């Protein structure tokens, strides 16, 4: 079978397409013939060596496809089932072996590419809004990078839970995206100082929770945006790691709460994984949660997919489409998905995941 392999850390050119042995499923495992794999910034960090990986490895932390074979003791799946998964390495390939407890059946009526695109970012937005800080009706929330992959999903989920949403973005186009997804107010941080604007918009009270995926450049000012006993959810570090702080600072700023969560700790068992994914898929099928796929590349062009992601040109999810037997040549897939189904015309940029998962 074909697989992308990384033998040395570096730029996109280290992504090499190779022929490798097709893996066999063991007890409790399922072999999936992959149709799509999500391209995320965590893949870039692993490829470049920012996250140290054992070499060689096959990148890719989310995928979707058809069950090809099952190992001993697997009862929930059979060959032919359509499934998706997240947080399991090795999706840049024709086949992947995945623990059965991580697999999610794709419900009837949901496009497989859409289901794949929603997994990692969608489950992240879900745990942030439902568990890390369970948003309540009437809350006011601040979402940094509100036009990012997790950001736009967070905006939508916060609105579903009855919150007022303030978002920060860098451009007019991104502001339009965030507003189109339900943000009540958007702050262009390239033109306005977000701390002062948040205080103005909340009449000096502050917000109940800040979801900060930016990190170093926004952290200290984000703390100043919180009401007393507010929650600081540091969920990324796209601008770099936050400097160490004295915990007494949280006291001085209003007995604040600070947490640094990771998706892997919010999908610890089968029940948790199924619960999050099923709610996501229900919302998508009901038209309450919008997902857009920006670009799909063939497996051969994984390096180009990484360049597209790193350029920040994407206005939606970037996928690899394996499409065995359908697309014998490389290049961007222009018609890999049906844009007339549940895929929405608004989009997001891929979220730069900040923590290496424990696979």
Confidence of residue 350 (pLDDT cuts 50, 70, 90): very low
d(CA 22, CA 324): 14
Confidence of residue 328 (pLDDT cuts 50, 70, 90): very low
How open is the CA angle 260-265-271, to the nearest 5 degrees? 145
Task: Kindly state the average pLDDT of the residues 100-108.
Answer: 96
Same domain, 84 and 213: no
Lowest mean pLDDT among 63-67, 235-239, 251-255: 235-239
pLDDT of residue 294: 79
From 118, 227, 220, select the one nearest 164 (Cα to Cα). Answer: 227
d(CA 229, CA 111): 42
Same domain, 93 and 158: no
pLDDT of residue 193: 94
Same domain, 259 and 157: yes
pLDDT of residue 129: 98
Same domain, 258 and 128: yes
Tracing tokens 């009862």 back to the chain, one arrives at 75
Q: Tell me, yes or no, whether 277 lies in a domain.
A: no
Q: Tell me, yes or no, whether 46 lies in a domain.
A: yes
Q: Tell me, yes or no, whether 113 lies in a domain.
A: no
Q: Tell me, yes or no, whether 169 lies in a domain.
A: yes
Q: Tell me, yes or no, whether 278 lies in a domain.
A: no
Lowest mean pLDDT among 89-98, 167-176, 269-278, 318-327: 318-327
Look at the chain and report how many structural domains it folds into. 2
Whether 333 shows a pLDDT value over 50: the answer reads: no
Confidence of residue 249 (pLDDT cuts 50, 70, 90): very high
Q: Tell me, yes or no, whether 283 lies in a domain.
A: no
pLDDT of residue 325: 39
Report the CATH number that the domain containing residue 322 is assigned in CATH.
Answer: 3.90.180.10
pLDDT of residue 314: 65
pLDDT in tens, 41-97: 889 889 999 888 999 999 999 999 999 999 999 999 999 999 999 999 999 999 999
For residue 311, give every residue at least 6 positions away whose Cβ sits within 8 Å of its Cβ, in sequence order, or none.
none
Task: Kindly state the average pLDDT of the residues 217-245.
Answer: 93
pLDDT of residue 323: 65
pLDDT of residue 315: 63
Whether 344 shows a pLDDT value over 70: the answer reads: no
From 268, 159, 146, select the one nearest 213 (Cα to Cα). Answer: 146
pLDDT of residue 58: 98
Domain finish residue from 245, 264, 283: 264
pLDDT of residue 291: 86
Same domain, 27 and 51: yes
d(CA 348, CA 336): 19
Lowest mean pLDDT among 16-25, 258-267, 341-350: 341-350
pLDDT in tens, 174-226: 899 999 999 999 999 989 999 999 999 999 999 999 999 988 999 999 999 99
Percent of residues, the chain, with pLDDT higher than 70 = 88
Task: Name the more confident of 281 and 349.
Answer: 281
Domain that residue 234 falls in:
121-264
Same domain, 171 and 300: no
Q: Tell me, yes or no, whether 272 lies in a domain.
A: no
Same domain, 237 and 321: no
Residue 315: CB atoms within 10 A of its CB come to 16
DSSP label of 276: H
Whether 305 shows a pLDDT value over 60: the answer reads: yes
Task: Kindly state the average pLDDT of the residues 146-153.
Answer: 86
Report the CATH number that the domain containing residue 256 is assigned in CATH.
Answer: 3.40.50.720
Same domain, 327 and 253: no
Same domain, 9 and 61: yes
Average pLDDT, the chain: 88
Same domain, 197 and 297: no
Q: Tell me, yes or no, whether 286 lies in a domain.
A: no
pLDDT of residue 346: 28
What is the distance of C-alpha 167 from the center of its chain?
18
d(CA 338, CA 341): 6
């Amino acid at each position: 079978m074909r697989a992308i392999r990384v033998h040395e850390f570096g730029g996109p050119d280290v992504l090499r397409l190779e022929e490798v042995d097709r893996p066999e499923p063991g007890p409790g495992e399922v072999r999936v013939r992959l149709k799509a794999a999500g391209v995320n910034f965590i893949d870039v960090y692993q490829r470049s060596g920012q996250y140290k990986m054992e070499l060689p490895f096959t990148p890719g932390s989310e995928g979707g496809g058809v069950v090809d074979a099952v190992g001993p003791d697997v009862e929930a799946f059979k060959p032919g089932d359509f499934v998706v998964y997240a947080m399991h390495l090795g999706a840049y390939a024709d086949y992947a072996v995945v623990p059965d407890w991580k697999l999610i059946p794709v419900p009837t009526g949901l496009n497989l590419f859409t289901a794949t695109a929603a997994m990692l970012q969608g489950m992240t937005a879900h745990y942030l809004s439902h568990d890390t800080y369970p948003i309540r009706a009437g809350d006011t929330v601040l979402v940094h990078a509100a036009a990012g992959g997790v950001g736009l999903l967070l905006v939508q989920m916060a609105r579903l839970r009855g919150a007022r949403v303030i978002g920060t973005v860098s451009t007019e186009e991104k502001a339009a995206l965030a507003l189109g997804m339900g943000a009540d107010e958007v702050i262009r941080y390239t033109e306005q100082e977000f701390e002062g604007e948040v205080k103005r918009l909340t009449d000096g009270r502050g917000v109940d929770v800040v979801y900060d995926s930016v990190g170093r450049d926004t952290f200290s000012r984000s703390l100043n945006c919180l009401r007393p006993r507010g929650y600081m959810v540091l969920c990324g570090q796209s601008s770099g790691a936050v400097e160490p702080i004295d915990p007494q600072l949280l006291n001085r700023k209003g007995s604040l709460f600070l947490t640094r969560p990771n998706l892997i700790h919010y999908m610890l068992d089968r029940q948790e994984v199924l619960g999050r994914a099923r709610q996501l898929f229900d919302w998508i099928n009901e038209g309450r949660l919008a997902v857009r796929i920006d670009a799909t590349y063939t497996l051969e062009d994984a390096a180009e997919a990484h360049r597209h992601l790193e350029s920040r040109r994407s206005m939606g999810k970037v996928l690899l489409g394996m499409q065995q037997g359908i697309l014998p040549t490389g290049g961007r897939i222009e018609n890999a998905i049906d844009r007339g189904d549940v895929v929405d015309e608004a989009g997001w940029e891929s979220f730069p995941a900040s923590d290496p998962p424990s696979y």
